C-alpha cells in the first residue's frame, strides 16, 4: 500500500470515528429515515475517498457533507422521474407495507419530513449547517431568491406544525439538538 493511500485510509477512519454520528444526523435530517441516512453516508464516503485522491482531514467533512447533499438531491430527482414513468410498466408492482416506516420520531423530524425536499434541504443547510442564503444557493444550484422563498415557506410550515419559533437561533437550536451539538 503506498503512502498516499495509507494517509487517505487514516483520514477516512478518523472522520468516521470522530464525525460519523454528526454525518449520520445530517443525513437523517435530509432523508427522514435512519436506514436511508446510513446508506447515504456510506455512499458519500465512498464517493469522497474511493477515487484515490487525497483529502486532508481538515476539509474531509466538508467534502462528505457536500457528497451527502448532492447524492440525496440526485436520488430524489431520479425517484421523482421514476414516479412519472412507472405507470408505463405492463406488470403491477406490489406495494410494500410502510408499517416499518411508521415509527415514533421526534416532532422536528416529523415536521421536516412533511416539507418538500428542496425546502427541507434549504432548512437543514440554513439552520443545521449555518450556511448563508448565498452559500445554500451555490450548493443547490438555485437563485438566492428561490432559496429565500423556500426558507420562508418552510419556516412558516414548520411553525404551523411545531408552533412559533421565536428567532432563527431557536430554529437552529431545535435542529442542532437533533444532531451533534455543533
Three-state SS letters, the chain = CCHHHHHHHHHHHHHHHHHHHHHHHHHHHHHCCHHHHHHHHHHHHHHHHCCCCCCCHHHHHHHHHHHHHHHHHHHHHHHHHHHHHHHHCCCCCCCCCCHHHCCCCCHHHHHHHCCCHHHHHHHHHHHHCCCCHHHHHHHHCCCHHHHHHHHHHHHHHHHHHHCCCCCHHHHHHHHHHHCCCC
pLDDT the model gives residue 179:
47
pLDDT of residue 120: 92
Which residue spans of the chain are classified as CATH 1.10.10.10? Answer: 103-182
3-state secondary structure of 49: helix
Query: Any idea which of 9-18, 80-89, 124-133 has the lowest mean pLDDT?
Result: 80-89
Which range, 90-94, 126-130, 178-182, is most confident? 126-130
15 or 95: which leads in pLDDT: 15
Question: pLDDT for 34-61, tens place per residue?
Answer: 899 999 999 888 888 876 667 777 788 8
Q: Which three cell numbers stand for residue 177?
A: 439538538
Digit-coded pLDDT (tens) for 142-167:
999 999 999 999 999 988 887 776 55
Query: The pTM is what?
Result: 0.51
Exposed, middle or buried by CB within 10 Å (0-12, 13-18, 19+), for 57? middle
Query: How far is residue 136's CA from residue 116's CA, in Å, rounded to a whole number?
Result: 16
The residues, any chain, with a CB within 8 Å of residue 34's CB and separated by 6 or more, are: 24, 28
Per-residue pLDDT of 64-113, as tens digits, reads 999 999 998 888 888 777 777 766 665 555 555 544 334 334 677 888 88
Query: For residue 138, which phi and psi values (nearest 5 degrees)?
Result: -65, -45
| Choices 3.20.20.70, 3.30.420.270, 3.40.50.300, 1.10.10.10: CATH for 103-182 | 1.10.10.10
Amino acid at each position: 500500500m503506498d503512502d498516499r493511500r495509507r494517509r487517505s485510509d487514516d483520514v477516512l477512519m478518523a472522520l468516521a470515528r470522530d464525525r460519523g454520528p454528526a454525518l449520520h444526523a445530517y443525513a437523517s435530517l435530509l432523508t427522514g429515515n435512519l436506514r436511508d441516512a446510513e446508506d447515504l453516508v456510506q455512499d458519500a464516503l465512498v464517493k469522497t475517498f474511493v477515487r484515490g485522491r487525497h483529502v486532508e482531514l481538515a476539509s474531509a467533512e466538508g467534502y462528505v457533507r457536500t457528497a451527502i447533499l448532492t447524492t440525496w438531491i440526485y436520488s430524489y430527482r431520479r425517484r421523482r422521474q421514476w414516479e412519472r414513468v412507472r405507470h408505463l410498466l405492463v406488470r403491477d408492482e406490489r406495494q410494500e407495507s410502510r408499517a416499518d416506516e411508521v415509527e415514533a420520531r421526534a416532532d422536528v423530524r416529523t415536521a421536516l419530513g412533511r416539507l418538500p425536499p428542496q425546502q427541507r434541504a434549504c432548512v437543514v443547510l440554513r439552520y443545521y449547517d449555518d450556511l448563508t442564503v448565498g452559500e445554500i444557493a451555490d450548493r443547490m444550484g438555485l437563485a438566492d431568491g428561490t432559496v429565500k422563498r423556500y426558507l420562508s415557506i418552510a419556516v412558516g410550515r414548520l411553525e404551523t406544525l411545531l408552533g412559533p419559533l421565536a428567532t432563527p437561533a431557536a430554529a437552529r437550536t431545535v435542529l442542532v439538538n437533533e444532531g451533534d451539538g455543533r
